[in-house]
A and B are shown apart, each in its own frame.
Chain A
Amino acid sequence: MRRWNEVRSRLRQDDGAPSTSGVWQRIEASRRGGATITLTPERPRILPRLGLYGPMALALLVLLIPSRTIPPPSLPSYPVPDWSWPFLPQAVLAQGARAPHLPAIGSLDGSRLQSGRWVYKWIPSGHPAQEGLSRMADTVTIRRGSHRGEPVWLVTQRVGLASGKGRLDSLYLRLSDLRPLRHALVASILDRFRRAGAIDFEGDTMRWQFVLPGGFIPPRDTVVTAAISTGYAAVWPEFPLLLNGIQFAKNWTGAVPMLLPSIDWSGRDSPVHVYWIDLRVTGRERVTVPAGTFDCWRISERIPGNEDREAIADLWVDSRSGALVRERPRGSSNSGHGRELSAILP
């Protein structure tokens, strides 16, 4: 750049412009002739900054405004859940559509449920990926309520994550047979993006509604297959509760069809997966957990038709109350975490 520096110095000393002589005469002539010229006004200094920050501010508004202006649905608003109960839905998604399973159970006995709160402490498998899970706990709260004038069990299931992220499921179960009437959920995927949805069950139809950061997704109907709609079907967060509704006995077997809404948060597609869980009583054991000592039915939980993950857990259910006392996953050490009843609260 030495040459440029030389050129610059020369330009600074000598303007280098060709001489001009007639400009003042032109100016005078124009003025005498009454010419007026409007020169470009100086722009406010804020404009260049607006050019830089304006699009950024606009983008920020687009992100922030919808999530704050769209009214959330009338759901409990405390933070929560993330994951499931008590098995991993990924495992069942591989289940064949026509997988053979045990005979389906008939109906459940809703009168076996009781109001209260059950706290389940997570039991990590020991796999390094599950470090930290021991600090987590699920809380299942059951109380009486009503839904569209009908008496229901109102059940909330909260997965408490240290980060505050997660999900909360609310279930409205018909009092008499625990059939789901409404399943509402709130998932705080990120602190700023609160998403919520609700599924209403009306006969053989599931009606979906979602509130997403980008806007409200209009309700849509999904017709559940006739085979499922004629009998009992549960939604997956309901699983521990349906255990309460079953009168187990020695060598009892049965299969439960579960509806697993695969919620696509983009709102484009939200298919409903139906899968079967085989339950088989394998024995009776006395189990001690932090909440106390219970006489339990030991139950094997299997997902027929999925060779990799067919046997997924052993369950211990209190023979008196029907409450789940302990869950222990099978399979690889990272296939899921267990949980056990750590407290029963009024």
Chain B
Amino acid sequence: MESESDDLARRIRAGSGEALEALYRSAGARLYALAWRLTLNRADAEDTVHDVFVGLPRALERYHEQGSFAAWLKRLLIRTALMRRRQERRRDARDAAYAVAAELDRSGTGPAPEGEAERLLAVLPEVLRAVVVLREIEGMSHGEIARALGISEVTSRVRLMRGLERLRRTLRTEG
């Protein structure tokens, strides 16, 4: 399985559109779901997946086939999703007028979280949500989370604890 992934990665790096499409067919939905949970916004999730697949051939130049390709791809998506959010926030801070417009635009293109899970996750600030999603739903280890988010394992553990505590409080309030 890993060798198939590595072979796919080599072909994508060589510029094969077919290989890229094959990867999208096999992993796109899973990556999109992860992007959605991290951003809780359909437009952001779609943009993240788009950026990852368009930028993948060049990004693969830095992939040295060490460890799992699927894990590497997941880390790439997580970084891309969070970086997009970070850049947006910076832009918003620079231009208050843009912030208003962006908020309006966002509310128009992305559905507000409807399910109980999404509503719960929306309670969490982004930094806590990322760790809770990656640990509790994706089942990643703290080491993997630390590597993906560029934080220490201790920070990952602390954020998970805080995130779960906040979820606990929310559930308790709702009865």
Chain A residues in the interface with B (C-beta under 8 A): 1, 3-4, 7-8, 10-12, 15-18, 20, 22-24, 26-28, 30-31, 35-43, 45, 47-49, 51-52
Contacts and interface: CB of A to CB of B under 8 A. Distances in A.
Greatest chain A CB density within 10 A among B76, B137, B171 is at B137
B54 A31 contact: yes
- Give the top 5 A-B pairs by smallest Cβ distance, nearest first: A15-B33, A37-B55, A17-B36, A48-B152, A39-B55
Nearest to B82: A40
Contacts of B29: 15
B54 A7 contact: no
Contact of A39 (B28, B42, B79, B171): B79
A171 B21 CA distance: 88
A291 B116 CA distance: 91
Given A47-B150, A48-B150, A27 B36 contact: no
Contacts of A18: 36, 42, 111
B61 to A, nearest CB: 10
B151 to A, nearest CB: 5
B62 interface: yes
Q: Which of the four size classes fits the interface of chain B?
A: 35 or more
B51 interface: yes
Contacts of A45: 147
Given A4-B171, A23-B49, A40 B111 contact: no
A42 B137 contact: no
A12 B139 CA distance: 9
A27 B53 contact: yes
Contact of B54 (A10, A12, A30, A47): A30
Interface string B32-74: 1100110000100110011111111011001000000000000
Nearest to A26: B50
A11 B120 CA distance: 12
Contacts, number: 113
A127 to B, nearest CB: 50
22 contacts: A3-B171, A4-B120, A8-B137, A15-B37, A20-B46, A22-B46, A23-B32, A27-B53, A27-B54, A31-B54, A37-B51, A37-B54, A37-B58, A38-B59, A39-B52, A39-B58, A39-B59, A40-B83, A41-B62, A42-B75, A42-B147, A51-B152
A44 to B, nearest CB: 9
A95 to B, nearest CB: 57
Q: Which of A30, A39, A41 has the most CB of B within 10 A?
A: A39
Interface string B120-160: 10000000000000001101000000110011111100000
Contact of A17 (B32, B53, B147, B167): B32
User: Would you call the interface of chain B mostly helix, strand, loop, or mixed?
Assistant: helix
B55 A8 contact: no
B51 A39 contact: yes
Given A15-B29, A15-B33, A52-B154, A24 B21 contact: yes
Given A1-B164, A40-B83, A48-B146, A10 B117 contact: yes
B147 A40 contact: no
Contacts of B83: 40
A1 B168 contact: yes
B71 to A, nearest CB: 11
Contacts of A35: 54
B24 interface: yes
Contacts of A15: 29-30, 33, 36-37
Q: Which of A1, A48, A49 has the most CB of B within 10 A?
A: A48
Contacts of B105: none
Nearest to A35: B54
Nearest to A36: B58
A9 to B, nearest CB: 10
B57 to A, nearest CB: 9
Contact of B79 (A20, A36, A42, A48): A42
Given A12-B137, A51-B151, 9 more contacts: A1-B171, A17-B37, A17-B45, A37-B55, A38-B58, A39-B58, A39-B79, A40-B79, A42-B79
Contacts of B33: 15-17
A48 B155 contact: yes
Contacts of B76: 39, 42
Contacts of A3: 171
B115 A26 contact: no
A45 B54 CA distance: 26
Given A23-B46, A24-B28, A42-B62, A16 B115 contact: yes
